[in-house]
């Protein structure tokens, strides 16, 4: 292996080599930066072309007329106009009625009052609307308010910083919707028991009728009904006495086998 003596290289040549190496590294870094910037602008141009716009013309920003709502009533109106109506929901009438109930009780409060649970819990338990309707209806109203707040938090800029619907703040216990809050009276209990007994008797009668249905008997004239099945007496006289028992069992127990064997000469005489 041949060793090169570095000490014999002139100082001017060493400086030139260092300068070339430094310039090459700087040029490589500049090329990488320029390449990344070019790829960025390429993605922007492709997006503009796919959107149907001319990338050579600058985009003009349209002024927004949507002012930030100051009160809860303005916020709920904005939610209905900008989210509920464009969605084309079938239950838009129900949403309008729930929003009206919220506006009557909470409409005059500032918008940031919805971030705290105090006013919402008061509407849930102490408002006139909660006294007039069932707890299930109150829960449907609160679900509409929760959907509106989620929509507000998704706006740019967001209208709310946090949501009050949490298990430690505003809760909606669905078990309360099916809890019985009164007892049956004696008359209601009697009517309920009478209805259950009548249905039980009807079911037992249908079972007895299905079990008492008589199967068809084997008889010589299978197409003719039995004598006792005929409603008209003249038809019974025309039928005569038709037995209901199986004719194959008539020879049993009388000393004659069911299939007697004929002697050989009778077979030769009358094959």
- Write down the pTM of the prediction: 0.48
Whether the bond between 157 and the residue before it is cis, its omega within 30 degrees of 0, is yes
Sign of the torsion formed by the C-alpha atoms of 195, 197, 203 and 209: negative
Mean pLDDT confidence for 148-162: 92
Phi, psi at 238, each rounded to 5°: -65, -35
Whether 114 and 160 have beta carbons less than 8 Å apart is answered as yes
In the predicted structure, residue 2 carries a pLDDT above the cut 50: no
φ/ψ of 236, rounded to 5, equals -65, -40
- Compute the distance between CA of residue 129 and CA of residue 145 in angstroms, rounded to an integer: 15
Q: Is the pLDDT of residue 1 over 50?
A: no
3-state secondary structure at position 57 = coil
Higher pLDDT, 103 or 8: 103
Distance (Å, rounded) from C-alpha 208 to C-alpha 202? 10
> In sequence order, what are the residues at sequence separation of 6 or more whose Cβ sits closer than 8 angstroms to the Cβ of residue 218?
246, 247
Q: pLDDT at position 6, please?
A: 47
**Structural contact between residues 171 and 190, judged by C-beta atoms closer than 8 angstroms:** no
Kindly state the percentage of the chain with pLDDT values over 90. Answer: 34
**Residue pointed to by tokens 């338990």:** 125
Tokens representing residue 58 in the block: 């600058």
Whole-number pLDDT of residue 13: 65
């Amino acid at each position: 292996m041949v060793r090169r003596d570095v000490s014999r290289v002139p100082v001017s040549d060493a400086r030139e080599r260092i300068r070339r190496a430094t310039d090459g590294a700087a040029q490589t870094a500049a090329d990488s930066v320029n390449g990344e910037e070019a790829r960025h602008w390429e993605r922007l141009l492709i997006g503009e072309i796919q959107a149907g716009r001319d990338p050579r013309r600058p985009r003009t920003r349209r002024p927004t007329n949507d002012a930030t709502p100051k009160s809860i009533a303005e916020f709920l109106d904005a939610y209905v106009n900008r989210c509920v109506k464009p969605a084309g929901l079938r239950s838009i009438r129900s949403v309008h009625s729930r929003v009206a109930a919220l506006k009557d009780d909470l409409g005059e409060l500032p918008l940031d009052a919805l971030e705290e649970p105090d006013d919402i819990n008061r509407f849930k338990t102490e408002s006139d609307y909660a006294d007039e309707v069932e707890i299930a209806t109150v829960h449907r109203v609160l679900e509409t308010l929760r959907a509106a707040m989620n929509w507000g938090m998704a706006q740019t800029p967001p209208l709310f910083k946090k949501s009050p619907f949490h298990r430690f703040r505003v809760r909606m216990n669905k078990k309360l919707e099916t809890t019985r809050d009164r007892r049956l009276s004696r008359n209601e209990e009697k009517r309920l028991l009478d209805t259950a007994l009548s249905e039980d008797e009807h079911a037992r009668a249908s079972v007895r009728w299905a079990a008492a249905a008589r199967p068809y008997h084997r008889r010589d004239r299978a197409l003719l009904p039995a004598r006792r099945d005929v409603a008209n007496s003249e038809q019974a006289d025309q039928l005569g006495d038709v037995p209901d028992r199986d004719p194959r069992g008539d020879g049993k127990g009388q000393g004659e086998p069911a299939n007697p064997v004929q002697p050989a000469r009778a077979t030769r005489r009358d094959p």
